Amino acid sequence: VFSEGMICAEDELGIGQSHAGIMVLSDNPTVGMPAKEYFKVTNDTVFEIGLTPNRSDATSHIGVARDVAAYINTHYPDKIKVCYPKTDTFPVQSFPNPIKITVEDTIACPRYSGLYIKNIAVKESPDWLKTKLNTIGIRPINNIVDITQFVLFEMGQPLHAFDAKHVSGNHVIVKKVKKDTPFTPLDGIERKLNDTDLMICNAVEPMCIAGVMGGKDSGISQTTTDVFLESAYFNPVNIRKTSKFHTLKTDASFRYERGCDPNITTFAIKRAALLIQELAGGNISEITDIYPEKIEEKQVTINFQRLNILIGKDIEKTIVKNILSSLEMKIIHEDTENITLSIPTNKVDVTREADVIEEFLRIYGYNNVELKSTFVYTPSTLSESPLIRFK
């Protein structure tokens, strides 16, 4: 029999995950209409960037947008700005967080923020959210988990949602547990914990490998009605060791290993809580924020002459200042020879003068540094050098 087509399942068409069988269209669509119109498939463009390991500040859509805005504002007449999510509607009238939080190891966990949302409804996410996640290769699960994933990729801040009924004793304890303690994360494979692994525990047992993966039993399910939401900053070295020891690589560990911004935990948790309230209902508690020793912005002084020598070109001071300001580095002092900058805490790898010059040059453009017509090269005269004889 001559075949003019094939009836497909969702996953075969690339519009969903189900492989249960042939899709049944129940609402009698018009014969001959494009499937694109019926399934409301929109045209989109995906930019895939090559991210170097040091650029933890660009592991999010907003992080990339900061760079794009700085570049456009430097090289084009039209000026743009990054639009951050609004959280000013975060509930003023809320209730005390019923979950007590204790951080036993403030070196491995310098900051831990958490809140409680009660009377939520776990269900399928709306199409707009599923589309955004599908576009970047993330499988939608439910509205609560999908929101934590959305905020992770939007802001670069990992979040974790616990089913509150599994927080025994209404107590969250951030600590390291005894070596060889058994624990089964979301992948279903039981592991023996190392004594260097930081764990998120309740009053009875571990619930989550901090910054890496949640536990099989404490996650969100269809019966969840109350949620404890976590937004924390973990020590990158600690997370890197744990991730490597257990061979667990996740989107959260990818960011924590490189260094997240310690000063956006409450901003991100407000963003996620408001989205949960919008898509799942519920009432939001006050935020508990354990942050005993604030991580301040580093200050770095740049010498204009050294900048020109290192780059190999004399660049106007106003251009230097404008580009560094566009990268959200605040000028706190300047004179004829130097400027002192306050570096945002999202730029983990910017700690020295040379780092700031590199940041400037990324936006200024390496190709805008012209090659000289002649090069000076002085060959070595150490003909009797033991190293040369060895070679």
Per residue, the 3-state secondary structure of the chain, as one string, reads CCCCCCCCCHHHHCCCCCCCCCCCCCCCCCCCCCHHHHCCCCCCCCCCCCCCCCCHHHCCHHHHHHHHHHHHHHHCCCCCCCCCCCCCCCCCCCECCCCEEEECCCCCCCEEEEEEEECCCCCCCCHHHHHHHHHCCCCCCCHHHHHHHHHHHHHCCCEEEEEHHHCHHHEEEEEECCCCCEECECCCCCEECCCCCEEEECCCCEEEECCCEEECCCCCCCCCCCEEEEEEECCHHHHHHHHHHCCCCCHHHHHHHHCCCHHHHHHHHHHHHHHHHHHHCCEEECCEEECCCCCCCEEEEEEHHHHHHHHCCCCCHHHHHHHHHHCCCEEEEECCCEEEEEECCCCCCCCCHHHHHHHHHHHHCHHHCCCCCCCCCCCCCCCCCHHHHHC
Note the pLDDT of residue 377.
81
Residue 300: phi and psi, rounded to 5, are -130, 135
Residue type, 4: E
**Six-digit token string for 206:** 């571990």
Q: Average pLDDT of 213-223?
A: 93
pLDDT exceeds 80 at position 385: no
% pLDDT > 90, the chain: 77
Maximum alpha-carbon separation in the chain: 89
* pLDDT at residue 16 is higher than 80: no
Residue 241 falls in which region: left (phi positive, over 0), alpha (psi -120 to 50) or beta: alpha
Q: How far is it, in rounded angstroms, from Cα 157 to Cα 137?
A: 18
Average pLDDT over residues 36-60: 86
| pLDDT, position 36 | 84
Please report which confidence band the pLDDT of residue 382 belongs to, taking 50, 70 and 90 as the band edges: low
* Mean pLDDT of the region 178-200: 95
CA 259 from chain centre, in angstroms, equals 9
Residue 74 · residue 199 · CB < 8 Å:
no
Question: Residue 154 CB: number of other CB atoms within 10 A?
Answer: 20
| Amino acid at residue number 281 | G
Please say whether the beta carbons of 356 and 329 come within 8 A: yes
How confident is the model over 182-196, as a mean pLDDT? 94
- Which tokens belong to 100? 């007590």
**Is the separation of the CB atoms in 361 and 315 below 8 Å?**
no
Output the average pLDDT for the chain.
92
Q: What pLDDT was estimated at residue 17? A: 74
Length of the chain in residues, anyone?
Answer: 391
- The pLDDT value recorded for residue 47 is 86
Question: What's residue 269's pLDDT?
Answer: 98
Report the chain's C-alpha Rg in angstroms: 26
Q: For residues 391 and 3, which has the higher predicted lDDT (pLDDT)?
A: 3
pTM, entire model = 0.86
Asked if the model's pLDDT at residue 383 lies above 80, the reply is no
The token pair that represents 344 in the structure block? 């945002």
- Per-residue pLDDT band at 374 (split at 50, 70, 90): confident
Nearest to 176 by CA among 157, 145, 198: 198
- What is the rounded CA–CA span in Å between residue 350 and residue 356? 6
